[in-house]
Amino acid sequence: MKKQALAAVLIAAFSLGSALAAPGRGQAGGQARNRLRERISDLYLLRLTRALDLTEEQTARLYPLLTRSERDKADLQRGMAADLRDLRAELARERPREEALLRLTARIRQARDETRRIEADIDASLDRALTPLQRARYVIFTVEFLRGLQEKLDRVRDLGPPLKRTP
């Protein structure tokens, strides 16, 4: 059961991360996306601290690990989003080049594997740092946080394109 819950969390986190890492329109879009990702990460860490009732020692040990891991996963997801875009473009060609298809699919798989490795490292660190009660709360908190975040993102998307600002 624990492995299934963790797998669901990983899938949800990967899906959300992929959505946030998708390329923005121009440099401003990319910067805005990065700021959004940082704000969500900060909110996540703040709420996590409260939900798990972390001690100062646990907080000092986990914050750097989680922050670095999220940054590393974001970098991997940005690269994977670019590779997926290139793969789609290659597949749209009249005659897709086999070597390009092989190279891009290998890079995407490598990024997915590296993301899973990072998640496994996080899980192992959390298992060492948290009590059984905190681990149980972590599973519930993560699922609920990601579900709530996804619902908010869906509502924002339903509002339509953002209004243009005048200079």
Residue 143: CB atoms within 10 A of its CB come to: 16
Token couple for 31:
């910067």
Q: Is 78 exposed, middle or buried (0-12, 13-18, 19+ CB in 10 A)?
A: buried
Hey, CA dihedral for 107, 108, 111, 112, is it positive or negative?
negative
What are the pLDDT digits (tens) for 120-145? 999 999 999 999 999 999 999 989 99
122/120 Cα distance (integer angstroms): 5
Q: Which of 125, 126, 145 is nearest to 48 (CA)?
A: 145
pTM given for the model: 0.67
Q: Assign 154 a pLDDT band (cuts: 50, 70, 90).
A: confident
